[in-house]
Structure 1
Amino acid sequence: MIADQLILDKKATKSKYEDDKKSEKPIRSVAKALSWRVIGTLDTLVVSYILTGEMAVAASIASVDFLTKMVLYFFHERIWNGIKWGK
């Protein structure tokens, strides 16, 4: 497998690189933010419930956490998408 990757001709490598360096569309960042926040919010809900023992308080904390961190993640992704380092 590794040998196959090393033997690739320059044209195939260049084409693959060109595909990789294109930036993501904002809708992809939104989808990634939503999927990650669902996981993160479930974690926050469980931890909040363990610490408070009250589902209403845990749900309130998780709701605020979901909204604020989703917005922060979206902007974080968009900023990193504009950075050419590592592409």
Structure 2
Amino acid sequence: MILDKVLQGNSFKGRSEITDKDKVSSDKLSRSIAKSISWRVVGTLDTILISWFVTGTIELALSIGFIELVTKMTLYFFHERLWERIKWGK
């Protein structure tokens, strides 16, 4: 499909011109872990700020943020690994 080629940066290459470098590769376990951590840092800071705004208490906001950090990072990791098994869109 044209959209698939554009998303892969191959919008001007013919089917026979696509090299191994052009193919989408799977993420390694360590990359999924790093992505999980970096995304959760951003998400947790957002949660802490929102919690602080809503509750008016930094201690409560930090508690909510810490719990959210652990649960959401774990959920994202397994979500990411599950999507690695799905062939659709690769």
**TM-score bracket relative to the smaller structure:** 0.7 to 0.9
Q: Please give the TM-score of this superposition, normalised by the length of structure 1.
A: 0.84
User: 1:31 aligned to 2:34?
Assistant: yes
Gaps of 5+ in 1: none
Task: Map Cα deviations across residues 21-76 of structure 1 (whole Å, 9 max, x no partner).
Answer: x3211110100000000000000000000000000000000000000000000000
Among candidates 64, 76, 85, match of residue 79 of structure 2: 76
Gaps of 5+ in 2: 1-5
Amino acid at match of 1:6: F
Report runs of 4+ in structure 1 exceeding 3 Å deviation. Answer: none
Q: Please give the TM-score of this superposition, normalised by the length of structure 2.
A: 0.81
Question: Size of the alignment, in residue pairs?
Answer: 81
User: 1:10 aligned to 2:16?
Assistant: yes
Asked if the contact 1:24–1:81 (Cα under 8 Å) also holds between the matched residues in 2, the reply is yes
Amino acid at match of 1:30: I
Asked if the contact 1:42–1:62 (Cα under 8 Å) also holds between the matched residues in 2, the reply is yes
Q: RMSD in angstroms over aligned alpha carbons?
A: 1.9
What percentage of residue pairs aligned between the two structures are identical?
Answer: 46
Larger relative helix fraction: 1
